[in-house]
Chains A and B, each alone.
Chain A
Amino acid sequence: MKINVIDQQGTHHALEAEEGWRVMEIIRDWDLNIKAECGGACSCATCHVYVDTAWLDKLYPPTDEELDMLDSAPAVESYSRLSCQLIMSQALDGLTVTLAAGSEKD
């Protein structure tokens, strides 16, 4: 199972993913530049990603909590998600996301 991540520099990374893991955790585990400062508690919006629109329908829709938290991310789009709220499953094998501005470490 893989996910494709486009980093802040535009570089593509195909990352081995594991079922049940949060997409944020996979990106962090592969040492890409993701801040994710609250550690996956849907409390900081520093794991903000843009989801490739072809994949939007396959994701569980965001909860109110995630939508509220996205308010504190810069440059939110209709295809914005917090990657800590995306849980890997077979259906998401091949998911493509782009790390948004504000998700990078200092």
Chain B
Amino acid sequence: MTHTPYQTDVAIIGAGPVGLFAVFELGLYDMKAAVIDVLPMVGGQCAELYPEKPIYDIPALVSVTGQALTDQLMAQIKPFNPEFFLGQSAEKLVKTDDGWQITTSDNQIIQAKVVVIATGGGLFSPKKPALANLDAYEGTSVFYAIRNVEQFHNKNIVIAGGGDSALDWALYFVPLAKRVTLVHHRDGFKAAPDSVNKMRELVAMDKMDFEIAKLDTLEGDAPQITNVQIIDKATNTQKSIPADMFMAFYGLTMKAGPLAEFGINMENNLVPVDTEKFETNVASIVSIGDINTYAGKQKLILSGFHEAALMAKGAFHYIYPEKKFRFQYTTSSSNLQSKLGVDA
């Protein structure tokens, strides 16, 4: 798929709280931003890992949930109308004559003068089961997400996991596949009760199988599996399930993204920056939030907010090299207030 290249002043990689607040700080000084995130929604960790959990150390907010913080940030940056590219990761970063060109996993091109790396704990990626040789089968007979459903028709499918994704896909494939086997380590699920009931009914009607077991090995010449070996939890005995396709749904975890390939210095998967402009070793690539490192760094959302404000001042000189950066307060500046749409 090709898309029209998108041009903006600043491209922010990561739509967590710090990436979102950067839109605000940049916007106050007339810098337009586009935000890229691998998740289909904004909020990063706050939205993906703990939307319901309260955070107690956001200044002036006694308690706020991850989702509420995200919602408030989205309301705060609304006047600046940022463009979002969600559900896609920044894959490539190339220098151009007047800035940078990012290519995302959806082949979207984004051109910007400044790039902000605000990728937090890393790129949300599927958790993988602890099985040897897994990667040799990935993409052919082992999957963590389903894109092309046709390839699973009339196949023996083994699905591992006990959440909604595992249950939903198991139910979806029962009428289409040769046989569906759900493997979970206990007889309990973190899924919609209705789906669990449907699964149990299908098992009772012998339309699918459910094994309370742990995964042991994948068999078959890579990249094609032939069997999934499991160990029954109750009897501790091995069992081999014929399988053409294996899917594992264990949720997401954060992995180091392709930052090292962007040509910036990394230290233990973190990006060293200066504490004046939060710039990396490469001019006009800056980094804020949990992904950066400097003397005294604390991985707190509030630190990332502070970094965003200072970063914006540094970015200004790349976007408006001929202009002077004029520091202003939102309480008193009619200029800032008009941008925020709150002018009296």
Q: Does A pair with B?
A: yes
Q: Does A53 contact B (CB under 8 A)?
A: no
A74's partner among B122, B127, B256 (CB-CB below 8 A) is B127
- Nearest Cβ distance between residue A11 and chain B, in whole angstroms? 19
The 3 A-B pairs at the shortest CB distance, nearest first, are namely A68-B190, A72-B251, A74-B130
Can you list 7 A-B contacts with CB-CB less than 8 angstroms, sorted by A residue number? A38-B45, A68-B188, A68-B190, A71-B185, A71-B186, A71-B190, A71-B250
- A44's nearest neighbour on chain B, judged by CB, is B49
CB pair B121 A41 closer than 8 Å:
no
CB pair A44 B185 closer than 8 Å:
no
CB pair B214 A44 closer than 8 Å:
no
CB pair A41 B49 closer than 8 Å:
yes
A67's partner among B45, B188, B255 (CB-CB below 8 A) is B188
CB pair A71 B184 closer than 8 Å:
yes
User: A residues within 8 Å of B by Cβ?
Assistant: 35, 37-38, 41, 43-46, 67-69, 71-77, 101-102, 105-106
Given known A43-B49, A44-B49, A106-B122, contact A74–B188 (CB-CB < 8 A): no
- Nearest Cβ distance between residue B58 and chain A, in whole angstroms? 14
- A75's nearest neighbour on chain B, judged by CB, is B130
B45: A residues at CB distance < 8 A: 37-38
B188: A residues at CB distance < 8 A: 67-68
- B53's nearest neighbour on chain A, judged by CB, is A41
Q: How large is the interface on B (under 10, 10 to 19, 20 to 34, 35 or more residues)?
A: 20 to 34
Given known A71-B162, A74-B250, contact A106–B49 (CB-CB < 8 A): no
How far is A66 from B189 in the complex, measured between Cα atoms in Å? 12
How far is A102 from B125 in the complex, measured between Cα atoms in Å? 13
CB pair B50 A43 closer than 8 Å:
yes
B255: A residues at CB distance < 8 A: 106
How far is A60 from B104 in the complex, measured between Cα atoms in Å? 46
How far is A104 from B255 in the complex, measured between Cα atoms in Å? 11
CB pair B163 A41 closer than 8 Å:
no
A101: B residues at CB distance < 8 A: 130
A46: B residues at CB distance < 8 A: 253
- Nearest Cβ distance between residue B193 and chain A, in whole angstroms? 13
How far is A13 from B66 in the complex, measured between Cα atoms in Å? 35
Given known A72-B251, A73-B250, contact A106–B190 (CB-CB < 8 A): no
- Nearest Cβ distance between residue A37 and chain B, in whole angstroms? 5
How far is A38 from B188 in the complex, measured between Cα atoms in Å? 23
Q: Does B254 contact A (CB under 8 A)?
A: yes
CB pair A37 B121 closer than 8 Å:
yes
- B189's nearest neighbour on chain A, judged by CB, is A71
- Nearest Cβ distance between residue A72 and chain B, in whole angstroms? 4
CB proximity to A under 8 Å, residues B140-192:
161-163, 184-186, 188-190
Q: Does B269 contact A (CB under 8 A)?
A: yes
How far is A67 from B184 in the complex, measured between Cα atoms in Å? 13
How far is A11 from B163 in the complex, measured between Cα atoms in Å? 34
Q: Does B5 contact A (CB under 8 A)?
A: no
How far is A38 from B121 in the complex, measured between Cα atoms in Å? 10
CB pair B256 A106 closer than 8 Å:
yes
Given known A67-B188, A71-B161, A106-B255, contact A41–B50 (CB-CB < 8 A): yes
